[in-house]
Amino acid sequence: MENRLDAIPAELLLALLDNPYESLILVDADGIVRFMSSSTDGSYAVPLSEAVGKHIAEVNPETRLPKIMQTGKAEIGRSMLVKDKERIIARIPLVADGRVVGAAGKLMFSSPRKLKRLIHRIESLEKQLDFYRQEVRQIYGIRFSFDNIIGQSAKMEAAKTLARKAAENDSPVIILGESGTGKEMFAHAIHQASRRSPNNFIRINCSAIPAELVESELFGYDPGAFTGASRQGRVGKFELAHGGTIFLDEIGEMPLSMQVKLMRVLQDKEIEHIGGGKPRRIDFRIISATNRELEGMIRKGSFRLDLFYRLNVMVIHLPCLRDIPEDIPLIFESILKKLGRDRRIPIESVSPSVIDVLMNYRWPGNIRELRNVAERAMIVCINNRIEIQDLPAGLVSEVKAGNPRQAKPILLKNAMEAAERRLIEDALNYCQQNKVKAADMLGIHRTGLYQKLKKYGMI
């Protein structure tokens, strides 16, 4: 101890004790004042020059320093009247070799107002934190439940039953299905129906995290862990998911280096911030999803077999839309109803020929594509009734081409109109919706184009 003090120049010690930002009184074991900082001058009845050597009770009759020397217990943040002014102070017993050798009185806030201001600041920061916590919950929170998943076909019901089972336990779930079949929706619904729903649902898009950011995104880091790290540090996605669900979307796109790291976390259920720190235990449930064929990737060496076994515990296959044509009318109409409510466009009817076309289309984009078709039809339709011309012309012509029996009843006029619509659409897209240029490209007059746009409900 002495050695450490010896290293401090006396003037430095004095400057520390006597700095203008803090008021300090030191008394010895007998209660005699040994030091009072300059900033205390004028606060007590006895001036600074006369205080040293006097008993503290003479300087400040309200003092409790002798009392805390008896109890040995510090009193922090107490209020005290000094010359009729309320101050927030700390009283600290000073101990050496296990013996109380004196006490220090320190001014913490020169008025309760300043303390109140600090408390107010802390309260407002806590409120902000609460707000951001809620925002995080909203962003990462539940957007879909089983009620939002439409479809009554046997295949869809089987998938929903299995997913409901999965919600009852904590086993890893993998959701397989083509693009747009509702994998993310199912993952949300499982989380929502599980005991984990009060906590976060954290989606990690495995194809979108650059390799060099994987670790900081997933595991987080302490403040200043590496050059370029943010000063506040960063909470990793696994920590955000504590008590909740991690959704590893597009797991088939996960680079091998990330697969190794993920495997470790799944085994240990522990994460470590970059730059060390104590490992933290995290309680999470894993749901993964992919539209890739993982077995093939394993054979080629681009997906780890051990990781596959970890993830592939409960497997939910989502049907592609062309395999459940019986669900198409229901899904189409439900989407129209919901979008119609949101946008205040009430759709009164859908022509049977529309349903017929929809049920015969291949739907490479599955329910997402059906949703887009419904949204577009809702916008372009006339008199709140959806007709064949409200469907994308490409879709209609593909169905007709693939199904000549269906093509028969189409009038030449309708076929020509559909083709015309498609050409106009293409020209507008090509010209980035510039109608003058599009009319030019089509070799028609601008007013002619406007007439056709109006006829087809395209404006």
Ligand X SMILES: Nc1ncnc2c1ncn2[C@@H]1O[C@H](COP(=O)(O)OP(=O)(O)OP(=O)(O)O)[C@@H](O)[C@H]1O
Q: For residue 203, give the nearest of 212, 215, 211, 191 by alpha carbon.
A: 191
Looking at 32, 52, 115, 150, which residue binds ligand X (CB under 6 A)? 150
* Residue 150 touches which member of ligand X, Mg ion, none, C-beta under 5-8 Å by kind: ligand X
Query: What is the rounded (10 degree) CA torsion for 328, 329, 334, 340?
Result: 120
Contact between 324 and ligand X per CB under 6 A = no
Q: Contact letters (x/-) for ligand X, 341-370, by CB under 6 A?
A: --------------------------xx--
The partner in contact with residue 149, picked from Mg ion, ligand X, none with C-beta cut-offs of 5 to 8 angstroms by kind, is ligand X
User: Can residue 245 be called a binding residue for ligand X (CB under 6 A)?
Assistant: no
Alpha-carbon gap, residue 132 to 254, rounded angstroms? 30
Among 163, 175, 184, 290, binds Mg ion (CB under 5 A): 184
Shortest Å distance, C-beta 363 to Mg ion: 16
Please give the C-alpha separations between residue 312 and each of 169, 173, 290, 317, in angstroms, as whole numbers: 15, 7, 12, 12
- The encoded tokens of residue 51 equal 């205080």
**Residues listed for the chain:** 459
Task: For residues 441 and 428, give the distance between their C-alpha atoms in angstroms, rounded to a whole number.
Answer: 9
- Pick what 215 binds: Mg ion, ligand X, none; C-beta below 5 to 8 Å, kind-dependent: none
Interface mask toward ligand X for 289-308; x: CB under 6 A: --x-----------------
Q: For 447, what's the count of Cα atoms within 13 Å in the CB-facing half-sphere?
A: 0
x/- map, 264-293, ligand X, by CB under 6 A: ---------------------------x--
In the complex, the smallest distance separating the C-beta of residue 126 from ligand X, rounded to whole angstroms, is 36
Rg for the chain (alpha carbons), in Å? 36
Residue list 363-422, contact with ligand X (CB under 6 A) = 367-368, 371
Position closest to ligand X via CB: 182
> Among positive and negative, which fits the CA dihedral 54, 57, 60, 66?
positive
Binding status of residue 369 toward Mg ion by CB under 5 A: no
Closest CA to 148 of 184, 175, 176: 184
Which residues face 93 on adjacent strands?
A: 103
Q: What residues from 160 to 219 belong to the interface with ligand X (CB under 6 A)?
A: 177, 179-185
How far is Cα 76 from Cα 108, in angstroms, rounded to an integer?
9
Please tell me whether residue 178 binds Mg ion under the rule CB under 5 A.
no
- Six token digits for residue 72: 């040995």
Residue 182 binds: one of Mg ion, ligand X, none (C-beta under 5 to 8 A by kind): ligand X
3-state DSSP call for residue 449? helix
Binding site for Mg ion (CB under 5 A): 183-184
Which residues are near ligand X by CB under 6 A?
149-151, 177, 179-185, 291, 331, 367-368, 371
